[in-house]
């Protein structure tokens, strides 16, 4: 089973529109088609970002976020990264690489092409939601 790390921006997108992030979360993760890997630090970021007032303009955003966070808490596999990495200028994004390194992730799925300017880190491919869905998603 694929091990996946999902950047916060993909989680947010999955709650706003029915596009690739939505399909990855609600058609693959919810059906246990891959193993989602998280750390305490990443879960904290998910909670912090998903509670931002700016998302109140989207219908039912907070109710959907609360439900998704409960699913993530229940089903995602938690890891404790043991290595500090300093490759990305946005320091918060280094935790994604640290987690991927710790869990030996197959993929990091991110919509952040500004900071994730490389296509792989060690054994982990770094892909957009569209690329993942079209080329790597489990059948």
Q: What is the mean pLDDT of the segment spanning 15-23?
A: 95
Q: What is the mean pLDDT of the segment spanning 62-90?
A: 93
Which DSSP category does 91 fall into?
A: G
| Residue 91, pLDDT score | 79
| Residue 139, pLDDT score | 81
**Dist CA 10 CA 45 (whole Å):** 13
Q: What is the mean pLDDT of the segment spanning 105-130?
A: 94
Instruction: Output the average pLDDT for the chain.
Output: 94
Q: What is the mean pLDDT of the segment spanning 41-47?
A: 97
Looking at domain 3-135, its CATH superfamily turns out to be 5'-nuclease (3.40.50.1010)
pTM across the whole model: 0.95
Per-residue pLDDT band at 33 (split at 50, 70, 90):
very high
Q: What is the mean pLDDT of the segment spanning 68-92?
A: 92
Indicate whether 30 pLDDT > 90.
no
- Spell out the alpha helix ranges (H) of the chain: 8-16, 20-23, 40-50, 61-75, 94-103, 129-135
């Amino acid at each position: 089973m694929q091990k996946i790390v999902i950047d916060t921006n993909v989680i947010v997108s999955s709650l706003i529109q029915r596009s690739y992030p939505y399909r990855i979360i609600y058609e693959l993760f919810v059906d246990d088609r891959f193993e989602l890997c998280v750390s305490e630090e990443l879960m904290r970021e998910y909670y912090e970002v998903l509670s931002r007032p700016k998302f109140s303009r989207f219908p039912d955003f907070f109710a959907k976020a609360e439900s998704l966070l409960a699913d993530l808490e229940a089903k995602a596999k938690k890891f404790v990264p043991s290595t500090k990495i300093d490759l990305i200028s946005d320091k918060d994004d280094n935790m994604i690489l640290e987690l991927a390194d710790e869990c030996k992730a197959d993929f990091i799925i991110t919509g952040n092409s500004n900071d994730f300017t490389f296509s792989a880190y060690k054994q982990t491919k770094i892909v957009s939601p569209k690329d993942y869905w079209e080329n790597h998603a489990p059948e």
